[in-house]
Structure 1
């Protein structure tokens, strides 16, 4: 007799644990970008635990991090009220640096100007953040830390939308998608160590 009991619903915490295993697998080279993005999308859309299991069936079990491991670096930095939802520059420039909180939907635009968006010390309104960058005859530079999950899907026409900063983050990292359009201009996404990390390395 076939069981008529409903499948167990997946929780947000279970979806996030699967997402972290996928990020680790991508960082270790077990998944290519296409496989990683497909599985990650399915993980966040999963409604039941049964839908999550096949996504990590062929991947090693997650190792529980020691106290003070990387997850702690994101503790308290997600869920902060946004301090900025956008920026615009015309024949001038703008900057978002240091300690600030990124809105879940942030839009930046420059027209014959320039902009700097630095996420290394930023907080995040949500675990899923979309940054839209539009550069017309100007440039926007987005600086991200090495441990942040970043996806770049923007396009350039007679300009460039550089995705060198794209890549998987560490467990607990927010998911930041950078998209938009560059016309006779450029959007540059690059990874840099935090200033505090560089000081520690020097010491």
Structure 2
């Protein structure tokens, strides 16, 4: 009996050590590259605009398919398989980063008073919703791809207008964090500029 107790103690300690190391590893180590999106255009500091409720534009966070609901960057290898860029992830959800970039670009390039979905109080005016359908890498062409299906809902929801935007940017180099992040930022900014032109036109 004493021998059994003597054997159990080191076995239990070893098991606990393995379990603890497994728990610590669940979160994973921080990747070397945390990426974000920077808007090429931003509203002028100190600029003020006034609009009635009906003239405001609320830009909503787009929905996204499962492969984009992660901070990692998807790489489409072929029609049926997806991997992710090694050692890279976004600082927050890509849908939120894209929504913020579009908001800044539209505010800078149009006369609209742009609101975030958390800012309006009673009437959001027009609403720009949609789906971020692709926001990653096409390994077959070595390009960054951004596809945004926009939906403009008129104040009061009386009319809905849809438009699809797509931009592809070549990745200069291997499919790695830095060149992929730079290419996606260029593509996202071009989509945002196209969206702003559509809204203003």
Query: What TM-score does the superposition give when structure 1 sets the normalisation length?
Result: 0.25
Larger Rg: 2
Q: Which has the higher contact order (CA 8 A, sep 6+)?
A: 2
Greater per-residue helix proportion: 2
